[in-house]
Chains A and B, each alone.
Chain A
Amino acid sequence: MKLLKIVAALALTAQIANAAEPTEGGTLRLIAQPEPPMLMLGLNQQGPTQFVAGKIYEGLLRYGTDMSVLPGLAQSWTVSEDGLVYTFELQNDVVWHDGEPFSSKDVVFSLSKFLPEVHPRARGVMGHVKDITAKGANTVSIELNAPFPAFLQSFEVSSAPIVPAHIYEGTDYRSNAANETPIGTGPFKFDEWQRGSFIRLVKNDQYWQDGKPYLDEIVFNVVPDAASRAVAFETGKVDVLRGGDVEYFDVQRLAALPDAETTNAGWEFLSPITWIQFNLRNEPMNDVRFRKAVWHAIDREFIANAIWMGFADPADGPLPASSPFYKENLPAADYNPDKSRALLDEMGLTPDENGVRTTVRYLSLPYSETYIRMGEYIRQQLREIGIELEVTQTDVGGWAQSLGQWDYDMTVNLLYQYGDPALGVERAYVSSNLVKGSPSANVSGLDNPKIDKVLSEAGTATSTDERMKLYAEFQQTVVDEAYFGYLVRVNFPTVYKTKVRNLVGSAIGLNDTMADVWIAE
């Protein structure tokens, strides 16, 4: 009954929102958590950077909440019959924030020079490209070596931000002074950044979409403590809470406030999966029986319902259920500690007088209370089957550092999917990505020629049926081998004040430009 009422109320507000004309002006107050290291999106793609810089920079394409391809800086595009030539028609009358005109020259520079040098994901994608040419001021043509069906998914703003050639061409990109005052084409311009306090963006009056943006400015407050962030929302100091800004038990409470609404939309492009990451180079993690023992010791329903407060679903494989390539009915990792004990017995890891079979290091991921609780849960569950975890506490930077240098036994990690498995999933599994330095490369040391082959074929196959078959094989293999301990697919609820309209309009949700967002008075 209560649910019905909420649904009815939501439907009603949706109608009102649709009926009302956008009003101009106002300040949207958000939270940058944690504070981003920089705002030059081409050089840094961490979550907070994507969130803030997504208003300053734009990509060629955007993606709807149903993952449909939408125009961005490109107003239209065509793909040749053989899937080798992509032609993008750019928007007219676009100018950079410093007043210089935007043209196909900037696109060619970004895609062929800037991004391949500094952006790991874009470098992978651009490896498929044979040639990029400007055909006139407003047309760019890209020719591929071989068909790459995920190519149209690769132009989201954080995957391929378009940067100004007149500022960066011929300079050292990483040390360019303009990185401090980013220049993009987006609806909001960089204005001021007081480190540790706030970042302010102001309206771009010359934005190429007439009449937009509606907001005068966007302020990102830096509030380091989750409880203070919840209070800031309650007292009206901020208008929007992103998933992860407040702890999950607070989401329910804040969502029930009379002037607040909540949505799970806007994470379709990233659809993160949380997993236990094993270092497959080290004993005993190199034994599939050990990894399965860990798998069976963990109740993913409990993690989803108790630790994530229901804002997550148990994950049974490497792909999100929303992916078109998701394989159903994978042998679900059932929660059965007796199976775990049997597997460990079989390995010859017998308990000593204290019930300890083996001790491994566990690198704690300190993103939020939720991750800390998850670590405590995993440690206790493994203790029950005789695996003792020696916990290393660290900060986020230390965690990324240890993981990037492969100096860990087990940890928990979160992987963004970036639309197509060839873009977001492949990187954690293929041997070609066994590179040190980044926590989102293949840091587990997975080196299986069969997986390399299947993924490479699946990435370049042109028929969707063929890709389905190959990705099904991939999913089956990694689940059989339990290379990762898949835990949950995380839903990041956005809680916002009812007066904020059109907040989530695409698959990247709050990371998008916010050109359409307006505040009702």
Chain B
Amino acid sequence: MNSPLSLFFGNRAAVIALACLAVITLLALGASLIYPQSPWKMVGAPFQPPAWGGHLMGTDMLGRDIAAGLVHGARVSLLIGLVSTAIALLIGVGIGAVAGYFGGLVDDILMRFTEVFQTIPSLIFAIVLVAIMGPSINSIVIAISVVSWPSVSRLVRAEFMTLRRREYVESSQVLGLPGWRIMLTDILPNAMAPVIVTATLMVATAILMESGLSFLGLGDPDMISWGYQIGAARTMLRAAWWMSFFPGVAIIITVLCLNLVGEGLSDALNPNLKRKKP
């Protein structure tokens, strides 16, 4: 039987996507080295097309370097994607695990609570939250986490409900181990596979949502981000396509890669579900 790792690396698309993500991450980490100056700094004449006057991707309406904004924006996008997913996982796994393990009334209460969040359209809910808290990187992370944890909790609850009937869990219960310990050491590791896959896709969704918020002018005014770049440039699309084109491509590539990696992971971790290759 193949190990998950070799299964994953046998998936060419997923490997390419992972390499792409590695490059994007490197660019984000090295943003200050590649473009030491602030991405808000006006470095040239406004509206310069790509490769004109020494700017790889051209300049925007104030003469800011699009490429500099792009790599600094990668930082913001990835940071928000990762941190908000981490927070959402923390909440979602916690609530889902308790609900799934204990069942009964606890399950009922927690799931009704989750449903309250699930009934509100997530982007609109995020907009409301950011508008109330005021646009800043913290409020955006909080808003995205708050709207994305319910799906995790549903998933984790389902996993826990099936796993808690397994013999190894029952044997731990017979031995008198405390519930938290069984959840943490016996069930959670076995429930992680689908959670990891979901998490990858959640990062992609979070990046999209941050771009959406920035596009609507609800981004952190101190942080340049892809969504902001597109939002500011969208009305000039016909006059200066490059200003929204490159950030748009960056979002597409990042989200696509995250989805491919997620799919690769899903196939590798659940070999039984693997679709037959043509």
Contacts and interface: CB of A to CB of B under 8 A. Distances in A.
Nearest to B134: A393
Interface in B60-82: 61-63
Interface in A334-382: 364, 366, 369, 372-373, 376-377, 379-380
A377 B42 contact: yes
B40 A376 contact: yes
A257 to B, nearest CB: 13
B248 to A, nearest CB: 16
Given A306-B46, A380-B38, A391-B221, A250 B63 contact: no
Counting chain A CB atoms within 10 Å of each CB, which of B46, B135, B217 scores highest? B46
Interface stretch (B10-18, B188-196, B230-238): B230-238
B218 to A, nearest CB: 8
Nearest to B41: A380
B121 to A, nearest CB: 21
Contacts of A307: 61-62
Contacts of B221: 364, 391, 393
A48 to B, nearest CB: 21
A393 B217 contact: yes
Contacts of B135: 393
B239 A380 contact: no
A384 B221 CA distance: 17
Nearest to B240: A249
A306 B235 contact: no
Given A249-B61, A373-B61, A393-B134, A379 B235 contact: no
A393 B135 CA distance: 8
Given A306-B46, A376-B40, A391-B222, A247 B134 contact: no
A391 B217 CA distance: 13
Interface in B213-262: 217, 221-222, 232, 234-236, 238-239
Contacts of A364: 221
Interface residues of B, number: 19
Given A227-B235, A391-B222, A393-B217, A383 B40 contact: yes
Contacts of A17: none
A227 B63 contact: no
B237 to A, nearest CB: 8
A250 B238 CA distance: 9
Contact of B234 (A227, A249, A384, A391): A227
Q: Is the interface of A mostly helix, strand, loop or mixed?
A: helix
A253 interface: yes
Interface in B1-56: 38, 40-42, 46
Nearest to A380: B40
B62 A376 contact: yes
Contact of A249 (B40, B62, B63, B236): B236
Contacts of B40: 376, 379-380, 383
B40 to A, nearest CB: 5
B222 A226 contact: no
Contacts of A230: 235
A372 B221 CA distance: 11
B62 A247 contact: no
Contacts of A377: 42, 62
B73 to A, nearest CB: 15
A364 B63 CA distance: 21
Contacts of A227: 234-235
A369 B62 contact: no
B235 A247 contact: yes
Contacts of B62: 306-307, 373, 376-377, 380
Contacts of A372: 217, 232
A383 B239 CA distance: 29
A391 B238 CA distance: 30
Interface in A230-286: 230, 247, 249-250, 253
Nearest to A394: B134
A373 B63 CA distance: 11
A123 to B, nearest CB: 37
Contacts of A380: 38, 40-42, 62
A226 B232 CA distance: 12
B68 to A, nearest CB: 13
Contacts of B38: 380, 383
Given A306-B63, A393-B135, A369 B232 contact: yes
Contacts of A226: 235
A377 B40 CA distance: 8
Nearest to A230: B235
A226 B234 CA distance: 11
A369 to B, nearest CB: 7
Counting chain A CB atoms within 10 Å of each CB, which of B38, B42, B63 scores highest? B42
Contacts of A373: 61-62, 232
Interface in B98-154: 134-135
Given A306-B46, A377-B42, A380-B38, A253 B238 contact: yes
Contacts of A393: 134-135, 217, 221
24 contacts: A226-B235, A230-B235, A247-B235, A249-B235, A249-B236, A249-B239, A250-B235, A306-B46, A306-B62, A306-B63, A364-B221, A366-B217, A373-B61, A373-B62, A376-B62, A377-B62, A380-B38, A380-B40, A383-B38, A391-B221, A391-B222, A393-B135, A393-B217, A393-B221
Interface of B: 38, 40-42, 46, 61-63, 134-135, 217, 221-222, 232, 234-236, 238-239
Given A306-B61, A391-B221, 20 more contacts: A227-B235, A230-B235, A249-B61, A249-B236, A249-B239, A250-B239, A253-B238, A253-B239, A306-B46, A306-B63, A307-B61, A369-B232, A376-B40, A377-B42, A380-B41, A380-B62, A384-B41, A391-B222, A393-B217, A393-B221
